[in-house]
Structure 1
Amino acid sequence: MKIILNLFTVLLLIPSVVRAQVDHIGAQATLPDHPRILLLKGEEDAIKRTIGADKAWAKLHGIILAECDALMEVPPIERIQIGRRLLGKSREGLRRLFFLSYGWRMTRQENYLRRAEKELLAISAFSDWNPSHFLDVGEMTMAVALGYDWLYDGLPESSRTAIKTAILKKGIEPSLDPKYNSWLRTTNNWNQVCNAGMVYGALAIFEDQPELGKKIVNRALESVVISMAEYSPDGAYPEGYSYWGYGTSFNVMLISALEKAFGKDFGLSAQPGFLKTAGYMENMTGPSGLPFNYSDAGSGVGLEPAMFWFAARQKDPSLLWVERSHLLNDEAQQLIKNRLLPATMLWSAGVSTAAMKEPKALMWTGGGKTPVAMMRSSWTDPAAVYVGFKGGSPSASHAHMDVGSFIMEADEVRWAMDFGMQDYESLESKKVDLWNKNQNSQRWQVFRYNNFVHNTLTINNAMQVVNGQAPITAVSKTPAFMNAVTDMTELYAESVQKAVRGIALVDKSYVVVRDELENKAAPTTVRWTMLTPTDVKILGNNKAELTKDGKKLVLEVREPANVVLKTWTTESPNEYDAPNPGTVRVGFEIPVAASAKTALTVLLIPQKAEKLGKKAVEPLAKWPK
C-alpha cells in the first residue's frame, strides 16, 4: 500500500507537458532481466574474444582491472561539495562504479563486487545528490543505476532496497520538480547528460516502477532531440571539443542503453548530423595531438569511447585513427581518468588496431550554429601543417568572442594557439558574473574570453557583437588551395559595412589569412592579432620570426604594405584572470579611412616552405570554391 501511495505522489509531480507526451514505448512494459543496461547477460563473451585477438585490447582490459585492484583500499567517496557543484564526486562515483562493475562482469571476482557495493551504499546514503546543479544528479544517477543493474545478482536484498530507493528519491524524483528540470528544454550538454542519467535510473528500477519508468524514457525521447538538433546539418558541435566529449558521450550512452533495453533507439541516431559528428571530432585533433580548443575547451586530450560506437555504427574504422594513437600510446594513468573508459570495451565491436587506417579526406567543414573548417597536409606526418578555423557567434553555449579565430600547426609546433577556458570555480569563487552573456557583462572582461586575445580582428578597440553570427560562406577542398571563408560583418556591425575572412592552406605548405573590410562613413582602427606560445623576433615592418623547440616560422604581412608589426603582453590587469606564462600576442594595427575598402593579407610560412615560390593572393571572391 505504501509503495502505491509513493508512486501516486511521484505521478502527481509530473508536469502536464510530460503526461501529454507521445508514448514512444507503447505496450512494451517489460525489459530484459538484470543486467539490462548496455551489456546484456552473456555478452561478456564477445568482449573476451576481442581481448584475445588483439594485444591493444588486452592491454586496455588489463589497465581497467588494475585500477579495480587499486580501488580496493580506497575509501568510498564522501559528499563534499565545492562551490555550487558536487560534480567532481559524481564523476568519480561513475568512474569507480563503471570500472568495478566491469571488473565483476568480466571476472566474477568477489572483491570487485563487494567494493562496488560499499561505494553504492555510501553514495545512496548521501543527504541528496545536489539537485540545484542537476548535472551532479545526472551523473550520480547513471553511476548508481549502472552499478545496481550490473551487480544485481550479487547484491543482498537489503543493499538492493537502499540503492533503488536512492535512485528513485535522489535521482528520478528531483527531475520531476520544475525547480530542477529546466535542462529538459535546453539545447546544450545538460540536456544530454541529465536525460541519460534519468533514463539509466528508470531502466535500473523498471520492474519496481514500470509506469514511472516509461514516462521518464518517453520524456527523454521528447527532450533530448532538442539538444541533438544542434548537430544539424553536418555534425559540428557548437560547444566545441571538450563539451563534445561530454554531451555527445552521454548522448551515445543514452542511445546504447535504449538499444539494449528496447531493441531500438527510437530514431535518435538518425537525427540530422548526429552520425556525421564523428568526423568533426576526429578532425578537431591536430598532428601534435592537441585539440582545436575554441570556446570553453581545455587543452587536454584522451581516448573518446563514443568514437568506437560511431565507428561500429557506420562500419568505418578510419574514424578511429586518432583513437588508435591513444589506444596504443597513452599511459595507464591517463586512460584511467576517463570515467567512461569501460564503454570502449563494450563498443569495440571486435575492431583490430590494424583496421584503424588513416582517413582519406584532408579537410572537414561543418555548418550550423558554430561552423568550422579544419584542413591539413597529411594524417600520417607528425610535422604536417594543420589549420582549424571557426565562424559562429559569442552567443552560442560556452562560446567566447573568438569568431574568425584560427589555430595553426606545422613541424610539430602549435604556432597560433587558443587559451581555451579558465576553470569556472576560479572565477565563480571571485564573484565573476561568468554566465551572463549580455553585451556589456563581466563575462567578456575575462581575459581569455574576449576578442582582444583571440586570433581574430578587433575594430576600434571594441568587443565583438554578442548576437552577431558568422556563417562559413565558401569552401574548397582543392588540394593546392584548401580554404574556407566566413562573413564576420555582424560581429563588427557598429563599425563596418563588410568584414570577411578567408583562410587557405596553400600547396599543403603554408597558410594565408586574408581579411577584406569596408568601412561605414567613419574611420576605424583595425587590429590583427595572433596568440602564440613562441619567441617572437620582429625582423622588419612586415615580418616576424617565431621560434620554438628549434623550429621556425615566418609571419609575413603582404598587405597593407606600411604596417608595423608589434607584440602585446598576455598579462591581465584583473586579479581573477589565470596567468598565461610563455605566451605573447603578435600583430599590427592600421587606420582605415571612412567608407574605405581595405585588405589584410598575412602569410604563415613554416621553415621548410620558406624557399617555395609563394602564389599571389587573390581577392576572396576569386578563391577556388
Structure 2
Amino acid sequence: MTSLFFRLTSLLFLLHFVAIGQVDHLAKANKLPAHPRLLLLKGEEEAIKQTISADKTWGNLNQAILNECDALLDKPSLERIKIGRRLLDKSREGLRRVFYLAYAWRFTHQEKYLKRAEQELLALSAFDDWNPTHFLDVAEMTMAVSIGYDWLYNDLSEQSRSIIKDAILKKGIEPSLDSKYNSWLKATHNWNQVCNAGMAYGALAIYEDQPELAKSIINRAIESVVLPMGDYSPNGAYPEGYSYWGYGTSFNVMLISAVDKAFGTDFGLTNEPGFLKTAGYLENMTGPSGNAFNYSDSGLSGELQPAMFWFAQKSKDPSLLWVERSRLQTNDPKKHVKNRLLPAIMLWSNGVSMNAIAEPKSSMWVGEGRNPVALMRTSWSDPAAIYVGLKAGSPSVNHAHMDIGSFVMEADGVRWAMDFGMQEYESLESKGVDLWNSKQDSQRWQIFRYNNFVHNTLTINNGLQRVAGKAAITHYSNTPMFMNATTDLTDVYKESLANVNRGVAILDKSYVIIRDELETPSTETTVRWTMLTPATVTLTGNKAELTKDGKKLILQVDEPARVELKTWTTNPPHEYDAPNPGTTLVGFEITLPANTKTALTVRLVPEKSVNQAAKKVPPLAQWPSK
C-alpha cells in the first residue's frame, strides 16, 4: 500500500510539473470518440474495402498483410532480449505484429487474429520494462500496445484490458515524465518525432482512465514536435537523409494522423513550414534503379513509404506517388510485409487508383535548410535515365558523415558513383567505438565509411572536412540541356583552401560534369578527387573505363591536363570497420602551388554518349542559373 501511495504521489507531482505553463491545445477540440479511435474509427473499414475491391494492386497488398498474419499465428511471442543497449528490434517487431494482427481482425473478424494479437499484447505487457534508457524502444512499444488495445478494446477480456492498460501507463507514459529519460522532448531530430508519437498513442488509448494525464501528454507532444518539424523549412529537405526520413517523418505523420482523427484537427502541425513539401524530397531521393541517395546514416535500398500516401492526400497531388506506384506494381507484395507501418498505407490510400498516378512534371528538385541537396534526372519513366544527387550541408547535422560536396550518379540502370551509407551501429558500439561523439577530433571520423576519404568529394592535404563547416546550394537551373547545381564548399575546407566551389551538371541529357573551382592559400596544397564505384575500373592516363552489369561508363579528366588517374583500396583500416567487397575508389591527386586559382573538371559519360561529350565546359559563373 505504501509503495502504491508513493507511486501515485510521484505521478501527480510529475503531472503537475509537466502541466505548468502548458498550452491547452485540446480545449476547443472535438470530443474524443469511443474506441476504436486511433487512425481508423468504427465503420471506416468499409471505405478501405471498396478501395481493395476496385484496384487489384490494393487487393494484392491487403492479401499479403493477411497472409503474413497467418504466418504469425504459430510463432512464439516476443521475449525481452536486448541487443547491446537496445530493445528496439523487439519493439519494432512488436509494432509490426500487433498492427498487422489488429488490422486483420478489424477487416475479417476471424477469431484467430484476435486471439493471436491478444497473446502478443499480453506478452509485451509482461516485460519488466520497455527499456527507458533507450527511449525509442519505449516509444515504439507503446505505439504497438496502444494500437492493439484501442483496436481490439471491445473484444478483449476485461482482465486483458486491465493488464495492457496498466503496461501502457507504467512502462510507456510514466517513464516519459522522468527527466532521466525524456531529453528527446528538446531534440530537433527523429527521436522527438518517434517518442512524442508513441506517447501520444498511449495517451489516446487510455484517455478515459487518465484524462488529465492524457491531455497533458498530447499537449506536450503538439508543443514539442514542432522542434524537429522546424528542420523541414524552407522547402522540405530532411536533414537526416533517406532512411531517417522513413523513420522520423513517418512517425511524425502517425502522430498528426492520430490526433487529427481523434479530435478533428491537426492543431496546425501539417502547416508547419516545409512539412508538406518534404514529400517532393523523398520522391526525388530515389534513382531510376530504385535505390536511394544514401548519404549520411542511410541504407541504399529504397522501400515502400506509407507516409507518402498521407502526403499525396493532403497535397492533392497523386504524382507524389510515382515511385511508390512502381514499388507496388513491380515488387511482389510479400516484399513489403517487413514494414511495420504497412497497414497504415491502407488507411491513407484515400481510394487512389494506380492509374490515377501520373509521373512528376519536374525533373529537378532542390532543397535548402540544414543539409541542402540538389536532385536531377533526365526522365522519370526511362529506367536507363541519368540521375544525379548532390549533397551540401554540414558534418555537424545529426547522423551526418563528412560527405559535403559528395554526389551519386546513375545511368543505364547502374549506380556508377555510390555512397557506402551507414554501418550498423551495434557492430561499432560493441567494439567500444565512440560513435556518437561528433567533435572534430573524435573517433567517429576515423570510421572508414564516415569520413571524406571515401566519399565522392575532395580531400585537402589528407585532412578531414570541418565539422563546423557549412555549405549551401548557391545556384541551380532546370535548363533541360544544362541542368545543374553548385555549392560553395569554402567553409568546409576553411584554412585548407582559400575558396572552393563545386558544380554538378547533366549536359545535353547525355552525360555528367563535375567541376571544382578552387583557390589555394599561401601554402602549397595537395588536393585529392575521389569517386567510389562498384564497377570494375580500367585506367588509361586521364581516362578510366568503368564496367558493370554489361554496361560501360567513361570517367575522363579534362582539367588539369596530363593528370594520371589512380585507384585506392576500400579495405577498411580498423578491425571495427565493416568490409566493403566489390568496391573501388578512383580519382587523382594534384599538388598546387600557393596562391593559385585552378579548376578540376571531370566527365562521366555513358558508353552510348561518348561521341556527344565534346563540348568545352564553361566556368561555373557562366552556368545557367534560375
TM range (shorter): over 0.9
Percent of aligned pairs with the same residue?
Answer: 68
- Residue 41 of structure 2: aligned partner: 40
Deviations 1:113-170 (A, max 9, x none): 0100000000000000000000000000000000000000100100000000000000
The yes-or-no answer on 1:552 pairing with 2:552 is yes
Aligned residue number for residue 602 of structure 1:
602
Aligned residue in 2 for 1:521 = 522
Report the CA distance between 1:4 and its aligned residue. 9.5
Q: Alpha-carbon deviations, 1:207-232, whole Å to 9, x = none?
A: 00000000001100110000100100
Q: What's the CA shift for 1:332?
A: 3.5
Contact 2:30–2:263 (Cα < 8 Å) also in 1:
no
One-letter code aligned to 1:373? A
Classify the secondary structure of the residue corresponding to 1:610: helix
Structure 1, residues 362-410: CA drift from partner, whole Å, max 9, x if none? 0000000000001000000000000010000000000000000000000
Structure 2 residue runs of 5 or longer lacking an equivalent are: none
Q: Distance in 2 between matches of 1:277 and 1:160?
A: 39
Report if the CA contact (8 A) 1:29-1:210 is conserved: no
Corresponding residue for 1:127?
Answer: 128
Give the superposition deviation at 1:331.
2.3
RMSD over aligned CA atoms reads 1.3
Q: Distance in 1 between matches of 2:274 and 2:511?
A: 31
1:17 Cα offset (Å): 5.7
Matches of 1:376 and 1:326 in 2, distance apart? Answer: 19
CA distance in 1, matches of 2:43, 2:600: 63
Deviates more, 1:78-87 or 1:6-15: 6-15
What is the SS of the residue equivalent to 1:491? helix
C-alpha offsets along residues 525-569 of structure 1, whole Å, 9 cap, x if unaligned?
A: 0000000000101122x1111011111100010101021100000
The equivalent residue for 1:592 is 592
The answer on 1:573 being equivalent to 2:573 is yes
Q: How far apart, in 1, do the equivalents of 2:77 and 2:220 lie?
A: 33
Deviation at 1:16, TM superposition (A): 3.6
CA distance in 2, matches of 1:586, 1:60: 43
Distance in structure 2 (CA, Å) of the matches to 1:333 and 1:174:
37
Hey, what's the Cα distance between the residues in 2 that align with 1:387 and 1:15? 53
Q: Helix, strand or coil: the match of 1:467? A: coil
Aligned in 2, Cα 1:118/1:17: closer, same or farther, shift over 3 Å? Answer: closer
- Given the superposition, is the C-alpha separation of residues 15 and 384 from structure 1 closer, same or farther in structure 2, using an over 3 Å criterion? farther
SS at match of 2:585: strand
TM-aligned CA deviation for residue 30 of structure 1: 4.4
Between the aligned partners of 1:66 and 1:323, the Cα distance in structure 2 is 21
Alignment of 1:393-472 (within 5 A): 393-472=394-473
In 1, Cα distance between equivalents of 2:573 and 2:116: 49
Deviation track 1:190-221 (CA, whole Å, cap 9, x = no partner) reads 00000000000000000000000000011001
Q: Which residue of 1 aligns with 2:58?
A: 57
Aligned length in residues: 624
For residue 368 of structure 2, what is the aligned residue in structure 1?
A: 367
Within the alignment, does 1:85 sit opposite 2:86 as a pair?
Answer: yes
Q: Which residue of 2 aligns with 1:192?
A: 193
Distance 1:570 1:18, change over 3 A: farther
Q: 1:592 is aligned with what amino acid?
A: L
- 2:317 maps to 316
Query: 1:534 touches 1:584 (CA, 8 Å); kept in 2?
Result: yes
CA distance in 1 between counterparts of 2:152 and 2:16 reads 33
1:182 aligns with 2:183: yes
What secondary structure is seen at the aligned counterpart in 1 of 2:449?
Answer: helix
Residue type matched to 1:603 in 2?
R
Q: Kindly report which structure 2 residues correspond to 1:227-266, keeping only aligned pairs within 5 A, or say none.
A: 227-266=228-267
Task: Name the SS of the counterpart of 2:590 in structure 1.
Answer: strand
Check whether the contact 1:489–1:498 (CA below 8 A) recurs between aligned residues.
yes
Counterparts of 1:360 and 1:368, CA distance in 2: 23
List per-residue Cα deviations over 1:314-336 (Å, max 9, x = no partner): 11111111001111122243211
Task: Tell me, in whole angstroms, the C-alpha distance in 2 between the residues paired with 1:329 and 1:412.
Answer: 15
**Structure 1 residue 27 displacement after superposition:** 5.4
C-alpha contact (below 8 Å) 1:30/1:207 kept by paired residues: no
The unaligned stretches of length 5 or more in structure 1 are: none
Give me the whole-angstrom Cα distance separating, in 2, the residues matched to 1:380 and 1:544: 29
TM-superposition CA deviations, 1:495-552 (whole Å, max 9, x none): 1110110000111110000001111111100000000000101122x11110111111
Q: Secondary structure at the match of 1:307?
A: helix
Summarize the alignment of residues 97-496 of structure 1 with structure 2, pairs less than 5 Å apart: 97-496=98-497
Deviation at 1:611, TM superposition (A): 1.2
Task: After superposition, give the CA deviation of every residue in 1:262-297 in whole Å (9 maximum; x if it has no partner).
Answer: 000000010000000000000000000000000000
CA 123–419 in structure 1, closer or farther in 2 if over 3 Å, else same: same
Runs of 4 or more above 4 Å deviation: 1-8, 27-30
Assess, with a 3 A threshold, how the Cα gap between structure 1 residues 333 and 564 changes in structure 2: closer, same or farther: same
Distance 1:15 1:319 in 2: 44
For the residues of structure 2 that align with 1:156 and 1:615, how far apart are their CA atoms? 75
Q: Distance in 1 between matches of 2:85 and 2:185?
A: 20
- The DSSP-based 3-state class of the residue aligned with 1:447 is coil
Higher mean C-alpha deviation, range 300-309 or range 163-172: 300-309
Q: Give the whole-Å Cα distance in 2 for the aligned partners of 1:130 and 1:394.
A: 30
Q: Tell me, yes or no, if the aligned pair for 1:524 and 1:594 is still in contact at 8 Å.
A: yes
Moved more, 121-130 or 293-302: 293-302
**Residue-by-residue CA offset, 1:423-481 (whole Å, 9 max, x unaligned):** 00000000000000010100000000000000000000000000100011111111111
Write the letter of the residue equivalent to 1:502. G
Shift of the alpha carbon at 1:15? 7.2
How far off its partner does 1:7 sit?
A: 5.3
Query: Is this contact kept in 2: 1:19–1:215, CA < 8 A?
Result: no
C-alpha contact (below 8 Å) 1:287/1:382 kept by paired residues: yes
The separation in 2 between residues aligned to 1:381 and 1:412, in whole angstroms, is 9
Spell out, residue by residue over 1:585-616, the C-alpha distance to the aligned partner (whole angstroms, 9 max, x if none): 00000011111111000000001111115321
Query: Distance between the aligned counterparts of 1:16 and 1:527, measured in 2?
Result: 55
1-side partners of 2:357 and 2:597: how far apart? 49
Provide the C-alpha distance between the structure 2 equivalents of 1:511 and 1:618, rounded to a whole number of angstroms.
Answer: 14
> Whole-Å Cα distance in 1 between the matches of residues 58 and 573 of structure 2?
49
User: 1:622 is matched with which residue?
Assistant: 622
Which deviations, in whole Å up to 9, do the C-alpha atoms of 1:43-89 show, x marking residues without a partner? Answer: 00000000010000000000000111111101110000000000000
CA deviations 1:213-255 (Å, max 9, x no partner) are 0000110011000010010001000000000000000000000
Q: CA deviation at 1:5?
A: 8.1
CA contact (8 A) 2:605 2:613 kept: no
Q: 1:98·1:146 contact (CA, 8 Å) conserved in 2?
A: yes
3-state SS, counterpart of residue 140 of structure 2: helix
Provide the secondary structure at the position in 2 that maps to 1:380. Answer: coil
How many angstroms apart in 2 are the aligned matches of 1:390 and 1:557?
21
- Looking at structure 1, the residues matched to 309 and 611 of structure 2 have their Cα atoms a distance apart, in angstroms, of 42
TM-score (structure 1 length as normaliser) = 0.98
- Local SS of the residue matching 1:79: coil
Partner secondary structure for residue 25 of structure 2: coil
TM-score, structure 2 length as denominator?
0.98
Counterpart code for 1:348: S
Amino acid at match of 1:392: G
Separation in 1 of the partners of 2:7 and 2:531? 60
CA distance in structure 2 between the aligned counterparts of 1:323 and 1:285, rounded to whole angstroms: 10
Q: State how far apart, in whole Å, the 1-side matches of 2:167 and 2:18 are.
A: 25
**Maintained 8 Å contact 1:15/1:176:** no
421-430 or 611-620, larger mean C-alpha shift: 611-620
AA paired with 1:432? Answer: V
Distance 1:608 1:101 in 2: 53
